[in-house]
Amino acid sequence: MALPAHAGKIETIWYYTFRVLCGIIFFFLIAPIVIIIPLSFNSVPFFTFTSEMLSLDPAGYSLKWYQDFFTDLNWQGAVQNSFIIAIFSTLISTTLGTIAALGLSRSEMPAKTVVMGILISPMIVPLIISAAGMFFFYTNIGLASTHLGVILAHAALATPFVVIVVTATLVGFDQSLIRAAATLGASPVVTFFKVTVPLILPGVISGALFAFVTSFDEVVVVKFVGSYEQRTIPWAMFSGIREQISPTILAVATMLIILSASLLATLELLRRRNERLRGMSPG
Amino acid sequence: MNKLFTQTLLAMAVATAAVGTAAAKDLVFVSWGGAYTASQQKAYHEPWMAMNPDIKIVNDDSGGGALAKLRAMQEAGNLTWDLIDMTASDAIIACDEGLAMEIDHDTMLAPAPDGTPASKDFGDMIVSPCYIPQIVYSTTFGYRTDLVGDTPPTSINDVFDLEKYPGKRSLEKRPINNFEWALLADGVAPDQIYEVLGTDEGVERALAKLDTIKDQVVWWEKGAQTPQLLADGEVVMGSTYNGRLFSVIEEEKQPIAMLWDWQVFDLDGWVVPVGGKNEADVLEYLRFATDTQRLADQAKFISYGPARASSAPMVGKHAVLGIDMGPHMPTAPDNAKNTLLYNYEFWADNLDDMNEKFQAWLAQ
Amino acid sequence: MSTTVESIAAEQMVTADGIPLKVSLARARRRARNRALLLVAPLFLFIFVTFFIPIFSMLFRSVENELVGETLHRTVPLLQNWDESGDAIPGEEVFAALVQDFAEAQETKTAGRPGRRLNYEKPGFSSLFRKTARKAEKLEPPYKEAMIKISKDWGDIEYWRVLKRESGKYTKAYYLSALDFSYDPEGNIVKNPGEESIYIKLFWRTLWMSMLITVLCLVLAYPISYLLSTLPARSSNLLLILVLLPFWTSLLVRTSAWIAILQQEGVINDFLVFLGFLTDDGRLAMIHNQVGTIVAMVHVLLPFMVLPLYSVMKTIPPSYLRAARSLGANPFTAFVRVYMPNTVAGIGAGGILVFIIAIGYYITPALVGGQSGTLISNLIAYHLEASLNWGLAAALGAILLGGVLVLYLLYDKVVGIDNMKLG
């Protein structure tokens, strides 16, 4: 959208106004995330930039909120639970979701839209309703207040993301490759691992990342289905914000931002790899 | 980050082994978390665990939603809790609904040092047969000393006086206490409050009084919010539990003072769920943890009054600050000139109905 | 024409083992279909057990009403013969049954819950049941007088009418409350007076706030999506990170960031005071109200609008606009008449997605919404956790879910569920 050479005065003004406008919107998107990083190094328990901070005086900065985080059992327990729950629910949802996506993307699949609609409904139903239902049901079958209960609940919530992402990868998947492998004498199992898996792997991994983040970021269901023993990072943040918002929460937030940035980078690499592979496949 | 990573791996290894199981002698006690659980830990749990090294008390800080979860667990017959800390009104419901065990206070609990049986020592505080009270706390007001000029507020009327004390106030987002205070400030005699409140006109009157300050009210839901709002200077005055105000005044040294006028007393105590797996251990714990000395000990860590009459003279100095805790108790004569006791019977009948009216009024 | 030829050909053709090709093909197709279904089955089963059963059994609570009939199992059948439209309370026979029921309920400790259940319909039932249960065992006939002596409420026909009405196995009372209707003393369904209707108001608020958030998201997303789609890939990929990073960042992180920014001692207020636009005691209240909820939710949901818009805009060839210009349209007309109609699919996809998410939002309003900024989900949570009126929570949830499902179907019509993309 470079400014054409023949642009008139109004167009020139509009061109720059538009860019400034977009700049402001991008700023709105990113500023809140950037701004809490320095605030987490605050030496006083406030959410503002102190004059020491602004004059870059080292006394205005401190690592004590990080220290607080790493020494507090409440937070450490939350970190452990978050990873345990997210990893196991990712494993379950990625496995089930990928298999289902393979079925869904077959042309022979009957009533595809209806089945898809049902499978991704956990993403659409408001969380409070899912949480309430799971609260009663899981209590009933003895899974409430257990890690397993929360893992299953999160796996259910995360499968839609896996299904959507993997199905999207499979749209460009050339079924004739499988037939080609078969005619060349490969068994279905060999074909699956040698042909299908390498091609859909980027999609599966990004689906798994979505699933991981869904679980890692979830708080409503965990609060209803789990109890304090299953507290996760978002749970601790949620009750922290409600109770007494301290810069420790900002320190946690900063670390989570770093985590999401690295997830994003992974995803971007996968996307590029996927595009490269797509470029190679015929059609 | 490296440490985090190894911890995560470790945690995964542990979790795969421990998903859904607990050690044979873990007792799960549900309480409110924060400073309150810490005071119970110091005064009750630690000494008792020292005497019973094979038992570990696990604190479950899901206090606020405890009644809902307890009801769901009992409905399903899947109880995982051993002892629950509840406010008196929740305990009455739990008892009514058969979720909690009835207690014979005299045989199950220790008598006072002078031999007075427990039921006499606790007296009126036993508001339900299932209830073992620990503390008396009050909901009262704190104000910013630097924002009220030369004449600090002294009466509940000042909360409703925007001319004398402009600025935001924080009130709890529920009708309880606010309706009583509104009627008192509107000139209703203290002994007629519930008679008035029992009529539609009375509710309208209370809401009309609250209407006069509605624009200036920040509504809180958790006890820590008012101290925080006061410390941040977001409100001039606000209601909260007296212990929370104590810690923000005496421990954090914020420019805040207490306004005790028409503080509302309420209780907090233990409830034993029906059908707990470790009932014998829990009862043994309760006999120890609710005796005269232990209840007095808790007041060293948090400024709530012990529920036993015999504990009052034994309340000493704050464990860390070293100040005398007596004058900071809501029950101290200077603080308790005008007080109300939470009317459990009235609110058990009318809370749902009045809450709808209150919510509707809030939403206007 | 060609299909007929083929089908005729297929009919006549036979496979090596003598089966007509048509049959063999059909069989192969059936096998393939079964294989596809088999692949989907495990997930379907998993979702069914871990998700659908819980939700349906929860929603069933909105009509379920067995408690009263179970506890008062002697009284309730007798009540069927009592005429509630008259003005006489039931006779001694009913009272005798009631006393027996209460004595039994006292033993099993089951009187409290139906009392609390009926208290939703008429305040006073809770203490009435509690009082009665405590004393029922010791009562002597005549029971009618003895009961009225315990509480004069037993002589009040309104209590009896409510008791009879709510003694069935199912009730519509929760849905009535959820829609701000109630029964008058004679048992007719009436609309609650304006100042006492809260749920409808909250549904409306949820609707208009979600709508406003959706529109704001669209207004903010449109220009940047346009910019992203027209920039060369290198720079657009770079700018896309500014959209994707918030998208991948924890919701709690973003919400706490907004608290830090918007609160009265927060970044914006400090900045404005520092610049002298505000006095120290004139700080703006931007949080714990609707402003806080809207700002934070727009930020949280904006990526959900940008991503579908961007993917649609990327496919619109720039030559369209150039063609319009060369045919004499001014830039504005060209954009509105030629470009925008091509983006309708993206607007629909993003708009409905954002709206669906917004309408059921819980976390952000709970943390920054204060009183005026809370949504229907927050009230559902309140009835689940605090008031324990699970039937009402289920009824509110069912209504909300119904609305969301309508939107979901609309999404399917506009975008197609199998076209849903992420990131």
Q: How far apart are CA C418 and CA C406, in angstroms?
A: 17
On whether any CB of chain A is under 8 Å from the CB of B62, the answer is yes
Q: Are residues B165 and B235 in the same domain?
A: yes
Q: Are residues B353 and B232 in the same domain?
A: yes
Name the residue range of residue A44's domain: 9-60
Nearest to A60 by CA among A34, A77, A74, A41: A41
Interface of A with C in 249-278 (CB under 8 A): 249-250, 253, 256-257, 260-261, 263-264, 267
If you average pLDDT over residues C277-302, what whole number do you get?
A: 86
Same domain, A211 and A260: yes
Which residue of chain B is at minimal alpha-carbon distance from A70? Answer: B4
**A3 within a domain of the structure (yes/no):** no
Spatial distance between the Cα atoms of B3 and B6, rounded to a whole number of angstroms: 5
Which pLDDT belongs to residue A134? 95
Spatial distance between the Cα atoms of B240 and C131, rounded to a whole number of angstroms: 32
Residue contact C50–A18, C-beta within 8 A: no
Chain C CB contacts of B236 below 8 Å: none
Instruction: Encode pLDDT of C347-367 as tens digits.
Output: 988 898 899 999 989 999 988
Using alpha carbons only, how large is chain A's radius of gyration in Å? 24
Q: Which residues contact C298 (CB under 8 A, 6 or more apart)?
A: C213, C216, C217, C220
Q: Which of A191, A193, A194 is nearest to A178 (CA)?
A: A191
Residue A10 has pLDDT above 90, yes or no: no
Mutate to test the interface with B, among A63, A223, A243 (most CBs of B within 10 A): A243
Measured at the CA of A209, the angle between CA A205 and CA A212, to 5 degrees, comes to: 135
Helix C125-136, helix B344-363: angle, nearest 10: 160
Question: What's the fold here for domain C199-419?
Answer: MetI-like fold (1.10.3720)
The answer on B352 and B219 residing in a single domain is yes
Specify the 3-state DSSP secondary structure of B171: strand
Most confident of A12-21, A187-196, B350-359: A12-21
Contact A205, A246 (CB under 8 A): no
Same domain, B44 and B86: yes
B215 domain residue, yes or no: yes
Which of 216-235 (B) contact A at CB < 8 A? 221-222, 224-225, 228
- Is the domain of B351 the same as that of B241? yes
Residues facing residue C75 across a β-bridge: none
The C-alpha angle with vertex C307 and arms to C302 and C309, in degrees rounded to 5, equals 95
Say yes or no: B82 contacts chain A, CB-CB below 8 A.
no
Give me the count of residues in chain B. Answer: 364
3-state secondary structure C245-313: HHHHCCHHHHHHHHHHHHCCCCHHHHHHHHHCCCCHHHCCCCCCCHHHHHHHHHHHHHHHHHHHHHHHH
Residues B227 and B344 in one domain: yes
- Residues on chain B touching A84 (C-beta within 8 angstroms): 11-12, 15
C176 or B33: whose pLDDT is higher? C176
Which residues in chain A have their CB less than 8 angstroms from residue B222's CB? 242-243
CA dist B155 → B138, B185, B223, C134, C351 (Å): 16, 9, 22, 41, 53
Say whether B60 and A227 touch across the interface (CB within 8 A): yes
Q: Does pTM surpass 0.90? A: no
B36, B118: one domain: yes
pLDDT of residue C1: 43
Number of domains in chain B: 2
Count Cα neighbours of B213 within 13 Å in the Cβ-side half-sphere.
30
pLDDT at A281: 41
Mean pLDDT of chain C: 87
Kindly report the backbone phi and psi dihedral angles of residue B268, in degrees, each rounded to the nearest multiple of 5, phi listed first.
-135, 140
| Binding-face residues of A in 180-219 toward C, CB within 8 A | 206, 210, 213, 216-217, 219
B12 is a domain residue: no
Indicate whether C190 pLDDT > 60: yes
Residue of B229, A150, B339, A127 lying closest to C50 (CA atoms): A150
Give, for all 364 residues of chain B, the pLDDT tens digit.
344 445 544 454 444 444 444 445 789 899 987 778 888 999 999 999 999 989 999 888 777 778 888 998 888 888 889 999 998 988 988 888 889 999 999 999 999 999 999 999 998 889 889 999 999 989 999 999 988 888 899 999 999 999 999 998 999 988 999 999 999 999 999 999 999 998 889 999 999 999 999 989 988 877 778 888 888 788 899 999 998 898 888 887 889 999 999 999 999 999 999 988 899 999 999 999 999 999 999 888 888 888 998 888 888 888 778 888 888 888 888 888 898 888 888 888 888 788 888 888 887 7
Residue C217's pLDDT is what? 97
Which DSSP state fits A61?
A: B
- In a domain? residue A69: no
- What average pLDDT score do residues C372-380 get? 88
Integer angstrom CA distances of residue A36 from A251, C364, C417 = 8, 17, 37
Find chain A residues with C-beta within 8 A of B224's C-beta.
242-244
Nearest to A241 among C242, C367, C390 (CB): C367
The domain that holds A253 is classified in CATH as 1.10.3720.10
A150 and A21 both lie in a single domain: no
Contacts of B20 in chain A (CB under 8 A): 146-148
Do A40 and A95 fall into the same domain? no
Q: Are residues B131 and B91 in the same domain?
A: yes
Q: Which two tokens stand for residue B216?
A: 């200036």
Residue B2 placed within a domain: no
Residues of chain C contacting residue A14, judged by C-beta atoms under 8 Å apart: 331
Q: Kindly state whether residue B1 falls inside one of the protein's structural domains.
A: no
In this prediction, residues C318-331 reach a mean pLDDT of: 83
Of B96, B232, B351, the CB nearest to C265: B232
Residue B14 lies in a domain: no
Residue with the two structure tokens 């009957």: A110
Cβ-Cβ contacts under 8 Å for C183 (sequence gap 6 or more): C121, C162, C165, C173, C176, C189, C190
C-beta of residue A85 within 8 angstroms of C-beta of residue A157: no
How far is Cα A121 from Cα A115, in angstroms, rounded to an integer?
Answer: 10
Q: How confident is the model at residue C2 (pLDDT cuts 50, 70, 90)?
A: very low
Residue A84 has pLDDT above 60, yes or no: yes
Nearest-neighbour CA in chain A from B192: distance (Å): 36
DSSP state of B311: G
Asked, for residue A207, whether it belongs to a domain, the answer is yes
**Residue A169: which pLDDT band, with cuts at 50, 70 and 90?**
confident
Is A139 near chain B, with CB under 8 Å?
yes
Start-to-end CA distance of chain C, whole Å, equals 45
Boundaries of every domain in chain C: 2-60, 66-171, 199-419
Residue in A29, A134, A250 closest to C246 by CB: A29
Q: In whole angstroms, what is the distance from residue A213 CA to residue A220 CA? A: 14
Grouping H, G, I as helix, E, B as strand and the rest as coil, residue B59 is: strand
Q: Grade residue C12 by pLDDT with cuts at 50, 70 and 90.
A: low
What residues of chain C, 295 to 324, have a C-beta less than 8 Å from chain A? 299, 302-303
B-chain CB neighbours of A243 within 8 Å are: 33-34, 222, 224
Q: Rounded CA gap, C112 and B102, in Å?
A: 14
Decide if B331 is inside a domain. Answer: no
Token pair listed for B155: 């009466």
CB B128 within 8 A of CB B270: no
CA distance C199 to A281: 56
Q: How confident is the model at residue C61 (pLDDT cuts 50, 70, 90)?
A: very high
Contacts of C393 in chain A (CB under 8 A): 132
Find the residue in A nearest to C388 (Cα): A132
- Listed residue (B317, B264, B330, B286) closest to B89, CA to CA: B264
List phi, psi (to 5°) of A123.
-80, -25
- What is the rounded CA–CA span in Å between residue C194 and residue C191? 9
Residues B126 and B143 in one domain: no
Distance from the Cα of B19 to chain A's closest Cα (Å) equals 6
* Count: domains in chain A: 2
Q: Does B60 touch chain A (CB under 8 A)?
A: yes
Mean pLDDT of chain A: 86
How much is the ipTM here?
Answer: 0.88
- Contact call for C198 and B360, based on CB within 8 A: yes
pLDDT score recorded for residue A277: 67
Q: Does B157 lie in the same domain as B240? A: yes
Identify which of B67, B95, B349 has the shortest CB distance to residue C126.
B349
Query: Looking at residues A93-113, what average pLDDT do you find?
Result: 89
